DNA sequence: CGAGTGACCGCAA
DNA sequence: ATTGCGGCCACTC
């Protein structure tokens, strides 16, 4: 039961809704959750939340991949490419064209 | 219950 | 353009 934190529950719901080949920013998710300033919380949630969620589709405003992804940025990069997202940069700094892959749930649903 | 931390964001120098 | 600092909210120990 994830009723301990409705914020986390809400964030997870959004992340799960992100379609393959699309990415969202922590600030975007946080804003949809109701707290645009809780971008850090979104990342915090991810760190201890269900690893089953596609956190790989969640990136920061710079389009850079997360830091503590399960297995490292390498795994995240691979997962994104598998979904059709072109990951640029080098092993020290992976990033995606957020302008092309940024997706918003309220715009689709 | 209290304190610390964080997968961030925005601004300033 | 790049680098450094603070702030903000929620979660964990």
* pLDDT tens, position by position, A52-72: 899 999 999 999 998 888 878
Are the beta carbons of A33 and A11 closer than 8 angstroms?
yes
pLDDT of amino acid A103: 94
Q: Is the CB of A8 under 7 A from strand B?
A: no
Copy the structure tokens of residue A21. 């080949």
Counting residues of chain A whose pLDDT is more than 90, the rounded percentage is 65
Average pLDDT, chain A: 89
User: Using one digit for the tens of pLDDT, what is the confidence trace for A91-106?
Assistant: 888 999 999 999 999 8
Q: How far apart are CA A102 and CA A14, in angstroms?
A: 13
**pLDDT at A100 (0 to 100):** 94
Residues 6+ apart with CB under 8 A from A89: A64, A95
Q: How far is the CA of A12 from the C1' of B13 (A)?
A: 38
The gap between A48 CA and B6 C1' (Å) is 11
Q: Contact A56/A48 with Cβ under 8 angstroms?
A: no
A66 touches strand B (CB under 7 A): yes
A60 CB below 7 A from strand B atoms: yes
SS3 A58: strand
Q: Which of A30, A25, A39, A18 is nearest to A97 (CA)?
A: A25
Tell me, in Å, how far CA of A41 is from C1' of B10?
A: 16
């Amino acid at each position: 039961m994830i009723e301990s934190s409705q914020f986390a529950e809400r964030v997870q719901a959004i992340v799960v809704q992100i379609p393959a080949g699309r990415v969202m920013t922590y600030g975007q998710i946080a804003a949809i959750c109701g707290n645009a300033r809780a971008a850090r919380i979104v990342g915090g949630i991810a760190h201890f939340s269900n690893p089953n969620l596609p956190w790989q589709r969640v990136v920061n405003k710079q389009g850079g991949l997360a830091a503590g992804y399960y297995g490292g940025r390498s795994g995240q990069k691979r997962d994104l490419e598998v979904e059709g997202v072109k990951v640029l940069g080098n092993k020290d700094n992976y990033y995606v064209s957020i302008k092309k892959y940024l997706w918003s749930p309220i715009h689709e649903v």
